[in-house]
Structure 1
Amino acid sequence: MSTPYTLNQYPLWKYLLISLVMLWGLIFALPNLFGEDPAVQISGARANIVVDSAFQNRVAALLDAEKLPIKRLELQEGRLLVRFADPETQLKAADILKDQLGRDYIVALNLASAAPGFMRALGLNPMYLGLDLRGGVHFLMQVDMDATIKQIEDSYVDEVRAQLRSEKVLYTSVGRVATGGVQVEFKDAAERDKAAPALRKNLSGLQQSQPGPLSLKLTLGEREIKEKRDFALQQNITTLRNRVNELGVAEPIIQQQGSDRIVVQLPGVQDTARAKEILGATATLEFRLADEENDWNQAATSGHVPLNSRLYKDRNGRPVLLQKRVMLTGDAIVDASSGLDPQNGGATVYVTLDGKGAKRFEDATKDNIGKRMGVVFIENKTETKRVNGDLKKTAFTVEEVINVATIRDRLSRRFQITGLESTREARDLALLLRAGALVSPIEIIEERTVGPSAGKENIAQGFRAAFISFLVIGAFMVLRYKRFGMIANAALAANVVLIIAALSTLQATLSLPGIAGIVLTMGMAVDANVLIYERIREELRNGTTPQAAIHAGFDRAFDTILDSNITTLIAAIMLFGFGSGPIKGFAVTLSIGILTSMFTAVTGSRALVNLIYGGRKLTTLSV
């Protein structure tokens, strides 16, 4: 049976566990005290472009010649990070480096953690800052789904023609109708009846109807339309993500919003025009036969390229000699996926063409079995440079060979590309074939830019709001509950530390709504202490001894605290599940704050109370 002297005492292991949790919180929250440095991140535009110590010295010399002070240079996994003391120097340095280094390097603005090197070596990083705190650009893009369905139906027109020719069906016309679908007109009803089962077998995704006595209409079903729309949206997201990599942006956000919109947030990027150029760039593919008769290296060294050939470079900078005649362009590709060759187990890519492309490719490859074929990735870009204070745009084209493979058989609607070194290379190639160009047209319907100074001001205002809230709440608790109020304030400070540590550990993104979630959590955290302390006061008024009152206050208030926090946590989970963007950020910090406040306001504050009052003979309580 417990006595008044043993009611409020924790065993040693509980104190050790609480101490370890707080030590973890302090360690993981610490990197956030050091802030971030404005930085320029430089990486190679292609795999063969090396960023090493020699390149580091070259960059240092360029900036020194312009008398731009550098805080520190760091080589990190094939890229160079140049730190500066202020954003103005960062922006000047970025313009100079873009101009001097040329197109072989990607120069991007960034913010780098200013935490000491040993912290970063231990994997201790600050939490990410959202667009409203760090600055950057925000785009909301609308995908033209009507155009998507129209493109799909247009591709089916060629497919239907090919099927009818293969079945030797006589028809008068095949075309897409304005109301949607592909309509075929036949010479007589017998030809229509002959075509219907063949088209149903080979084009099972299309529904058939007969709008006229000699007509057959093929339309996409609701399920097929939904699948095509979802596929187009995900392909566009993949394409945009690939293009954002060109900017070298740290922690970009590219996500679906609703059924036909895409949100793109690029923290740290201030050049809106540059971002729009990258996101809206056009790309295509070309399939060409390799020039087997001439030496590729000799052509590259001498500069004398055979009349009917063109000299390219692959992704590693090696010369590739291909014939001028184009066998096929990427416009004919409707799908591509990676896999393993069933014959030798090697990595391969399976490509699917539309009807017109299949016929053309079959004709082009039937006489070239055993020869090599190159896949050329072509991207049209626009580069913006500041010349004499004015922005000047220059259009240029990037052409590189992403694969050279051997033609094993006559290629038609579905074929495979072999000769790949790894499954990873196969996946990358399939991705390029699918996502080299935007599948559906997109339009930027909303555009916002947050400057670094505005982001810094938002951080200052958010910190000020949180700090003032902490002071006001703390003052209220001390005035209302005296020494117990001071214990609640210590628990509240520990709660804030644990929230920051959790966000840093999860590498979650903190935004202004997230700061609002932290401030709200402060009030909710002391709310638990208010319930406990009022219960203690009630017990004391009923004549209970101080030790028994403390015990009853914590134990009997716990169920109420648990229920109220669970209901709030459910609301936060719903916000995260159905919300997007800033709402998700608010939900994340609120959820973490609820869980940490349960620990600090109940377990943590009780541990402090037990340390101060446990095992002592008490006559009064300062509550």
Structure 2
Amino acid sequence: MKAQSKHKHKRKSAIIFILCVVAIFSLAFIGFKGFKIAGYEFKSFDKVITKGLDLQGGVSVLMEIKDEDVKKEDLEKTRQLLALRVNKLGVSETTVTTEGQKRIRVDIPGAFDSSDIVKNLTKSGKLEFKDSEGSVVLEGKDVSKATAILDNQTNKPVISLELNDDGKGKFAEATGNNIGKKITIFMDEDEISSPVVETKIADGKAIISGSENLKEAQNTASLINSGALPVALESVSVKNVGAQLGAEALPNALKAGAVGIALIFMFMIAYYRVPGLIASIALVAYVTLVLLIFVEVGATLTLPGIAGFLLTIGMAVDANVLIFERTKEELSKGISIKSAIKKGFENAASSIIDSNVTTIIAALVLYFVGTGAVKGFAATLMIGVFVSMFTALVITKKLINLSVEMGFLKNISQFRVKGGSKDA
């Protein structure tokens, strides 16, 4: 009866182990290759992870505030408005960060027309409606929404404005008092439209004409929606990164990563044998989990980020090396494999946590003090460290214990320790 129960326990452990391994490799295959089923496509990591400027090219603009004394809240507000403005230009995957006390960097992957981008970023976005006498009758703050559309009658691009409650009252009064006269619309003191008022407009809707094309109308609408900047800006640095550099850099980085990971697997299996094989399976889970987290949090992957990611793979291996060496020390004392593994993990845990915590502290400093690519390196390093601790102390431990329970790991020679088998 006892033997039958033991056999069932071994079979159950074997089934769980096989399911875990299949799940890990299936998830890895889907992540790296992708596949389609029933008309739905599971995209590979390469297609869904956001790539930085150095991997796909683009424009990096460093803006500086002209004012001498800049409040921290004005700097942050300007950053938020610039991010809103760039995104409303139809550009995605942008990164807008502050640098120092007066500078803001805007990185726009995949965009290469730097002149238009700088022009739209430096505009203050101040919208004013003036009557024939030059008095301001309406401002940008009175507009709740601006949309670029094609006029149904003329088929020309126009900007449709929807006014808020305050704006409705002001515009109704202004149009009522200026029938037959012009109300001129200015953007940053540049005249963009000067229509003649034909009737009083009380519904809070207005049209701005005069845009040469739909793109220009969209740009103007985005400026109106983002509002006026609280400070004056100028561009101090504009860098264009060609797509060719990224096209060459990414494959080379991936090849280097693949070779490095393969060498790690070979070393672990050659030196630690069966535990090394199990650790390699756990490392596959680690790589897959980290890339999944990159996708979920919307992390932007850069070349320094890839370097940080590969560095954490080495740290994940270090954790396994510590665990296995501590286990070998316990086995050399003559205790059972199961007890040695338990003590090995317990003894190594404090060292793993301590070393990783110091790395996390360093990464936090780099993230909050550094700028641009340094932040990307720090972010990927932190994510990788947290996941490496999880895979070493949870996934590797579970797979090792299942291997012992199913009888796959039952001889101390499988740990490169001399001697016979040691039962639990």
- TM superposition score normalised by structure 1: 0.50
Match for 1:494 among 273, 276, 285? 285
Q: How big is the alpha-carbon RMSD for the aligned residues of Structure 1 and Structure 2?
A: 4.8
> Any stretches of 5+ residues in structure 1 without a counterpart?
35-113, 147-224, 290-323, 340-345, 352-360, 382-396, 409-417, 422-427
Contact 1:532 1:557 in 2 (8 A): yes
> Structure 1 CA distance, aligned partners of 2:12 and 2:359?
29
> What percentage of aligned pairs have identical amino acids?
30
Structure-2 change in CA distance of 1:242 and 1:434 (3 Å): closer
What is the identity, as a one-letter code, of the residue corresponding to 2:103?
Answer: R
C-alpha deviation, 1:287, in angstroms: 1.9
TM-superposition CA deviations, 1:413-469 (whole Å, max 9, x none): xxxxx9479xxxxxx999838834x55332322222211110111112221221222
Question: Which residue is equivalent to 1:435?
Answer: 227
Contact 2:130 2:137 in 1 (8 A): no
Question: Which residue is equivalent to 1:258?
Answer: 100
> Structure 1 CA distance, aligned partners of 2:166 and 2:318?
59
Instruction: Tell me the SS of whatever aligns to 1:119.
Output: strand
> Structure 2 CA distance, aligned partners of 1:20 and 1:492?
14
Structure-2 change in CA distance of 1:12 and 1:125 (3 Å): farther
Higher relative contact order (CA 8 A, sep 6+): 2
> Structure 2 CA distance, aligned partners of 1:239 and 1:373?
32
> Structure 1 CA distance, aligned partners of 2:352 and 2:10?
20
Between 1:275-284 and 1:519-528, the stretch displaced more is 275-284
> Structure 2 CA distance, aligned partners of 1:348 and 1:13?
66
Contact 1:22 1:494 in 2 (8 A): yes
Question: Which residue is equivalent to 2:31?
Answer: 29
Question: Which residue is equivalent to 1:127?
Answer: 49
In the TM superposition, 1:58-97 aligns within 5 A as none
> Structure 2 CA distance, aligned partners of 1:260 and 1:30?
42
Question: Which residue is equivalent to 1:276?
Answer: 118
What is the identity, as a one-letter code, of the residue corresponding to 2:96?
Answer: I
Structure-2 change in CA distance of 1:237 and 1:552 (3 Å): closer
Structure-2 change in CA distance of 1:262 and 1:378 (3 Å): same
> Structure 1 CA distance, aligned partners of 2:257 and 2:333?
38
Name which one, 1 or 2, has greater alpha-carbon Rg. Answer: 1
Question: Which residue is equivalent to 1:621?
Answer: 413
Match for 1:503 among 289, 294, 312? 294
What is the identity, as a one-letter code, of the residue corresponding to 1:606?
Answer: K
Structure-2 change in CA distance of 1:521 and 1:10 (3 Å): farther
Question: Which residue is equivalent to 1:348?
Answer: 165
> Any stretches of 5+ residues in structure 2 without a counterpart?
1-5, 145-162, 207-219, 416-424
> Structure 2 CA distance, aligned partners of 1:598 and 1:277?
47
C-alpha deviation, 1:523, in angstroms: 0.7
Structure-2 change in CA distance of 1:264 and 1:511 (3 Å): same
In the TM superposition, 1:302-317 aligns within 5 A as none
In the TM superposition, 1:162-181 aligns within 5 A as none
C-alpha deviation, 1:281, in angstroms: 4.9
Question: Which residue is equivalent to 1:328?
Answer: 136
> Structure 1 CA distance, aligned partners of 2:24 and 2:258?
21
C-alpha deviation, 1:563, in angstroms: 2.9
> Structure 2 CA distance, aligned partners of 1:336 and 1:140?
27
TM-superposition CA deviations, 1:342-390 (whole Å, max 9, x none): xxxx943589xxxxxxxxx9xx97x949999968354799xxxxxxxxx
C-alpha deviation, 1:267, in angstroms: 0.4
> Structure 2 CA distance, aligned partners of 1:445 and 1:285?
25
> Structure 2 CA distance, aligned partners of 1:133 and 1:484?
37
What is the identity, as a one-letter code, of the residue corresponding to 1:137?
Answer: V
Q: Does 1:520 align with 2:311?
A: yes
C-alpha deviation, 1:510, in angstroms: 0.7
- Number of residue equivalences: 373
TM-superposition CA deviations, 1:155-212 (whole Å, max 9, x none): xxxxxxxxxxxxxxxxxxxxxxxxxxxxxxxxxxxxxxxxxxxxxxxxxxxxxxxxxx
Structure-2 change in CA distance of 1:505 and 1:25 (3 Å): farther
> Structure 1 CA distance, aligned partners of 2:58 and 2:67?
28
Question: Which residue is equivalent to 1:286?
Answer: 128
> Structure 1 CA distance, aligned partners of 2:186 and 2:85?
14
Question: Which residue is equivalent to 1:104?
Answer: none
Instruction: Tell me the SS of whatever aligns to 1:580.
Output: coil
Match for 1:460 among 243, 251, 265? 251
Structure-2 change in CA distance of 1:18 and 1:143 (3 Å): farther
What is the identity, as a one-letter code, of the residue corresponding to 2:397?
Answer: R
In the TM superposition, 1:78-477 aligns within 5 A as 118-119=40-41, 126-146=48-68, 227=71, 230-231=73-74, 234-235=77-78, 238-239=81-82, 241-242=84-85, 245-246=88-89, 248-281=90-123, 284-288=126-130, 324-328=132-136, 336=141, 347-349=164-166, 368=177, 376=185, 378=187, 398-399=192-193, 419=204, 432=224, 435-436=227-228, 438-477=229-268
- TM superposition score normalised by structure 2: 0.70
C-alpha deviation, 1:488, in angstroms: 1.6
Instruction: Tell me the SS of whatever aligns to 2:41.
Output: helix
What is the identity, as a one-letter code, of the residue corresponding to 2:185?
Answer: V
Contact 1:235 1:439 in 2 (8 A): yes
What is the identity, as a one-letter code, of the residue corresponding to 1:286?
Answer: E
Instruction: Tell me the SS of whatever aligns to 2:104.
Output: strand
> Structure 2 CA distance, aligned partners of 1:253 and 1:239?
10
Which has the larger helix fraction? 2
